[in-house]
Amino acid sequence: MKKDFYEILGVSKSASEAEIKKAYRKRAIEFHPDKNPGDKQAEEKFKEAAEAYEVLSDAQKKAKYDQYGHQAFDGSGGFGGGGMNMDDIFSQFGDIFGGGGFGGFGGFGGGGGGQRRAKGSNLRIKVKLTLEEIANGVEKKVKVKRKVQAQGVKYKTCGTCNGQGQVMRVTNTILGRMQSASTCPTCGGTGQSIESKPANADGQGMILEDETVSIKIPAGVVDGMQLKVSSKGNDAPGNGIPGDLIVAVEEVEHEFLKREGENLHYDLYISFPEAALGISKEIDTVSGKVRIKLEEGIQSGKILRLKGKGIPSLNSYGNGDLLVHVNVWTPKILSKEQRQFFENAINDENFVPKPEKSDKSFFEKVKDMFS
C-alpha cells in the first residue's frame, strides 16, 4: 500500500504551498542519488518525495487527493501520479531550487547536472460515459492527434552548450567567484538542435499524426474527474520524453436513474390497484434488471433500499445502494362504474387513512436516504 503523501513530506494537510515546497526541498537534498550513491532505499525515498510533491504542489491534484486518496491518480491503465522517472523528477528542480540550479551535487537540477531531457506538452480530451460504464468500468478507444517526430529528422549537438543542455556563468561576489548553471537558451536544455528535417515537419521536426489510444477507466469515477494516460501526449524534440494524455470524465445523464454520490435513485410508479393488492415489478439497475416485490397496501412515498445496487466506491469500499421511491399514481379520469365504486368507498373503514408508527414521515424518509 502506498504511503500517505503528507506523511512522506512530513507536513500536515493544512500545510501551505511554501511549507510543502520547503519540505520537499529538504527531502530531495537528504535522499538525492548523488549524496547516496548505490543506496536503493534512499533512491526510493527520493522518488516518493518527488511523486508526493507533484500532487501536493498542484491545487487541483491536491484537492482530488484529499477527496479520493491515491485512487484519484492510480486507476488501472497507466493513470495517475505514480511511475515517475528521474527525468520527471529533475524537471521539477527548476521550481524548487531556482533557474540557476543547486550547487554541490553533480546531477542536481542545474548545478553541473548535464543534459536535461525535455518533456512534450500534454493533450486533453473529454470522454462521455454512461452510468452503466461508470458502474462497471470500461475500456475506451479514442482517436487523438498528437505531435510525433517526423521520420528522417536529424539532430546535431547544440553548439551553444556543446550538448550539455546548460551554460555556465561565473559571477564575482564578496565571497569570491561563484559558478552557476542555467538552461541553454538555444536548445532549451535538450543538448540538441535540428540539423535537417523533412519538408512536412515543423520547426522542431514534428508532424501531426492520428493515433488510437486505449483508455482503461476504473469503476466509480465521477463527473469532472481527470485521469492521466502516461506518454500519450505530444512527443518532445530530440531525445525528450512524451507528454501525457489528460482524460476528463463527462457523465451522461441516465433516462431513469439519478446518481447521488455512490447511491442511485429510481422513481417507481404504480397504479391504485397495484398498491392495494401488491405486485411484483421489474426495474432497471446499472448491473441489469432486477425484480422486486411490493406488499399489499404499500403507501406512496415509501423508499425501498436495494443494498449494493449502486455505484462502486473508487476507494474499493464496496458499492452504494439503489433507493426505489414508490409513487402511487392517482387516476385523473374515471368511468361511471369506477366513480361509483370510489363514492361508495369514501366512507368505508378500510379507506380511512390510518398511518402506523412504522409509517415514517417525509422528513424521516429523507433522513434515511442520506444514512
Please write the tens of the pLDDT for every residue from 277-286.
999 999 989 9
pLDDT in tens, 68-90: 787 776 543 334 444 555 555 55
pLDDT given at position 205:
87
pLDDT given at position 59:
85
The Cα–Cα gap between 304 and 295 comes to: 11
Q: How far is CA 332 from the centre of its chain?
A: 49
pLDDT in tens, 239-281: 788 999 999 999 999 999 999 999 999 999 999 999 999 999 9
CATH fold, domain 257-369, is HSP40/DNAj peptide-binding domain (2.60.260)
Q: Are both 118-143+210-252 and 257-369 of the same fold?
A: yes
**Predicted confidence (pLDDT) at residue 30 exceeds the cutoff of 50:** yes
Q: In 3D, which of 316, 326, 317, 309 has the Cα closest to residue 132?
A: 309
pLDDT given at position 95:
45
**Predicted confidence (pLDDT) at residue 204 exceeds the cutoff of 70:** yes
CATH of span 1-100: 1.10.287.110
Three cell numbers written together for 70: 491515491
pLDDT given at position 77:
37
**Predicted confidence (pLDDT) at residue 299 exceeds the cutoff of 50:** yes
DSSP count for the chain of H helices, then E strands: 10, 15
Mean pLDDT within 160-179? 78
**Predicted confidence (pLDDT) at residue 101 exceeds the cutoff of 50:** no
Please state, for a pLDDT cut of 90, what percent of the chain lies above it. 46
pLDDT given at position 331:
92
pLDDT given at position 329:
94
The whole model's pTM is what? 0.61
At how many degrees (to 10) do helices 40-56 and 59-68 cross? 100
Mean pLDDT within 165-174? 77
The pLDDT confidence band at residue 173, using thresholds 50, 70 and 90, is low
Classify residue 337 as exposed, middle or buried by CB count within 10 Å of its CB (0-12, 13-18, 19+). Answer: exposed
pLDDT given at position 84:
55
Domain ranges of the chain: 1-100, 118-143+210-252, 257-369
E strands in 199-307: 206-217, 226-229, 245-251, 257-260, 263-271, 279-285, 288-294, 303-306
pLDDT given at position 191:
83
User: Cα dihedral angle (293, 297, 301, 304), rounded to 10 degrees?
Assistant: -20
Class of domain 118-143+210-252: mainly beta
**Of 39-48, 200-209, 338-347, 351-360, minimum mean pLDDT range:** 351-360
Average pLDDT in the chain: 83
Answer yes or no: are the C-beta atoms of 36 and 51 closer than 8 Å.
no
Three cell numbers written together for 13: 494537510
What residues have CB less than 8 Å from 334, skipping those under 6 apart? 342
